[in-house]
Structure formats: C-alpha cells, structure tokens
Amino acid sequence: MGLDRRPPPTSAMSPRLIEVAGLSHSYGDVVALTDLQCTIPHGSIGLVGANGAGKSTLIKVLLGILRSSQGEASVLGLSVTEGTIAMRARVGYMPERGGLPSDQTAADFMIYAAELAGIPPKAAKQRASDVLTLVGLHEERFRHLGDFSTGMRQRALLAQAIVHDPELIFLDEPIAGLDPEGRDEMLSLISRLRDSACSSLRSSPVAITRSSSVSDSISKRSMRLRISRISSAGGTGC
C-alpha cells in the first residue's frame, strides 16, 4: 500500500514524544490534573487510569483543544500552545466517542479527512482506499457510516486518525462499547499498526485506557495516570 509518504526520521527529531511540566487543569471547582510531570519517549505506550483520572483531559490539552490552567507541554518537540497547527498535522486522534457523519459513505468521509489534512484530491482517494483496507473496511467503503455496527465505526475512527500518516496517534479508549470478539479484533489491528511503526506507517500509538490489560496488549510499556501525577510502570521513566 502507498503509505510511506513521510521521509525517515532524522537526527534532528526530538528524542521525546511528549513532555509535560507542571501541568494543571480544572473544570470550575473540579480538578482534573494537578502539577503533572512526565516525559514519554518514542514508541508505543499505554496510559492507564480509572474513570476521572484525567486521561481524556490530558489528550485534549496535548492536542491544543483545551488550554491548561498552568504548566507547559510539548508534543513531537512542538509547544501545544504555540505550535498547535504544525503539531496537529503530525498527530492523529481517535476519540472515545466520535461524531461520524451518518449520511456519508466511509470512502467519502475518509477522502474528506485526507483532503482536510492537506493531501491533494487524487492522492487523498488512494490514501482513503489504503487506510480502509488496512482497518478491514475496504469491502464496506461505499456503505453509509450510519449503517455501520459499533465495531465498524471504531475501525472508521481509527482509519481517520491515520489517514494523513501521522507520527503519533492518540487512541482514547479504543475498545469502548465493543463485544469480546470486537475487542480482540481492535487490539490485533492496533498491534499491527504498532509493529508497522518502523516500516510503512512509522506512527507511535499512545493508547489511553482504564484497562491495564488493554495497555499491555498494545505496548510492553505502560504508565499509570493519577489526578496528581503520572507514575511509571513497566520500566518507563517520567
């Protein structure tokens, strides 16, 4: 498949995927993150924490969707407050619950997502076909997204997250709402993306999940997220 558009990493690439220093965020009186300190190296990794631990808030701050109350953060060496546009061009995001347009076909939506990321129309069509094949939706590409099952919608969300060949993919609860078979299929798919990260895609998956077993399936390294800090587990330092 024609997935290898980006040149190989150079020595100028930041050795750190994500850096967070003194990050705090609150929703009114509700504290989501407090004085978060963390450094995450390149490679696939899982961030694990219970509901309300601040996992989704952290993703939104790192994507520049939310502005933190205090502290600093960078993704791929770019500030999340000053380099947001450049950073988002290099990052993919699979939300826990995505608002896929029910009246669009999978192919049309994926072409739109590719063009939105700056891929020329002709290349966008090929790219859409490639990622839909990768996630197992090629045969369903002309079906409307509104007719998709939960598992198929999750695959479509993953496809739109990688359609622009990002260097980093945030996966927020990627198996939410899936039955056991669907969970196994999604974890297998993400594992294949992880294993291809050194060849065609070169993406670093970061899975945000409440389940340590999910994190372990995706990465040998995991980090446990707490409201006041991220503590390391599985040999990854912060």
pLDDT band at 33 (very low <50, low <70, confident <90, very high): confident
> Of 6, 35, 44, 24, which Cα lies nearest the Cα of 223?
44
> How far, in Å, CA of 38 to CA of 173, rounded?
21
CATH number of 16-233: 3.40.50.300
Indicate the average pLDDT of the chain.
Answer: 79
End-to-end CA distance of the chain: 37
Q: Which of 56-70, 77-91, 102-116, 190-204 has the highest mean pLDDT?
A: 102-116
- With a pLDDT cut of 90, the percent of the chain lying above it is 32
Q: Which of 56-60, 97-101, 188-192, 224-228 has the highest mean pLDDT?
A: 56-60
pTM: 0.79
Q: Is 183 a residue whose pLDDT tops 50?
A: yes
> Of 141, 143, 123, which Cα lies nearest the Cα of 132?
141
Tens-digit pLDDT profile for residues 119-149: 999 999 999 999 999 999 999 999 999 999 9
